[in-house]
Amino acid sequence: MTDICVLGNFVADNTFYSEKLPTKGQTVFGSGFQVGPGGKGSNQAIAAARLKSKVSFLGKVGDDEYGKMAIELYKKNNLNHKTVFVSNEHPTGVAGIMVNQTDGTNAIIVYPGASMEITIDEVNKFSNLISNCKVFLTQLEIKTDVTLHALKLAKKGNAITILNPAPAIKIEDEFFKYIDFFTPNETEAEFYFGKKIENYDQAKEAGDFFIKKGVKNSIITLGDKGIYFTNQSSNFAMPALDLKNKVKDTTGAGDAFSGALASGLEKKMDIKECLKFAIKVSGISTTKKGAADAMPFANDIK
């Protein structure tokens, strides 16, 4: 039984921690390094599974050590991974991440490897799963035609669809009518909206713009300013957790939010309760290092 189906990528995150991020042409010493599971899709799937939702992760890895890391991760976190394709031609993707240890902010380069090679035909093998799940969650770290196809499959059934439009890349307008929840962060929202978003008023304007485009609900995540929610009948801001100097690494905070949102929706939480829950999960994830490894468990939320 699957409550949440996540389509997306797995990559191995190679993360460097340092007091400040290097500028162009500069070399700085790091204070730490780790290799761990990442990839927006996989992180979101782990976040939801750790909150006790039944999750299937649909993606592609290589036949190599990092591919094994992914499968081990899914086994350990009780995800259905029969939906993970293993490529003999392409290596598992990797990401190079630099984290500023003073405020937890980061810069990321993703080399998607095998994850980018998942095809429409492969996705079609799990069309029933996609159409019959309660919540279908995806991002933009695989090919966009595959993502759009899967969103259509999900809407053919009764699934609630969530698109976390990350990384920000150009998508066809057709996408918007298949999206129940659109969850950009402020930088991504600026990209799709075409204007700066520095306060709640501007977030409201962007939210209204996304609703006019066809999404049912827009949730713009605004880092330490919380979130801004918009739909046809209401709009409001909600503050972030006050974490003071507890933030260690913000990598995957947006993934924690989208995964928790999916979990809350699948459990039929009322929207305000669901948003509070997702804000809390996302905030807690920043107090630990890593991406998937930093996702809190249901017990951590209490």
The residues that touch ligand RIB, with contacts defined as CB under 6 A, are: 11, 13, 38-40, 43, 95, 108, 110, 141, 251-252, 254-255, 291
Q: How far is the CB of 1 from ligand RIB (least distance, A)?
A: 27
Q: Determine whether 255 is an active site residue.
A: yes
CA distance 231 to 51: 26
Nearest to 171 by CA among 200, 155, 151: 151
* Residue number, nearest CB to ligand RIB: 38
Q: How far is the CB of 119 from ligand RIB (least distance, A)?
A: 20
Closest to ligand RIB by CB, 39 vs 264, is 39
CA distance 17 to 116: 27
Closest to ligand RIB by CB, 21 vs 271, is 21
Secondary structure class of 174 (helix, strand, coil): helix
Closest to ligand RIB by CB, 264 vs 290, is 290
Annotated active-site residue in 255, 270, 293, 300: 255
Q: How far is the CB of 251 from ligand RIB (least distance, A)?
A: 5
Q: Can you list the pairs that 72-78 forms with residues at least 24 positions away whose Cβ atoms lie under 8 Å?
A: 73/37, 73/42, 73/46, 73/292, 74/45, 77/46, 77/49, 77/50, 78/49
Closest to ligand RIB by CB, 67 vs 134, is 67
The partner residues of 56 in beta bridges, in order of sequence, read 5, 80
First to last CA, the chain: 26
Q: How far is the CB of 10 from ligand RIB (least distance, A)?
A: 8
Which residues does the annotation mark as catalytic? 255
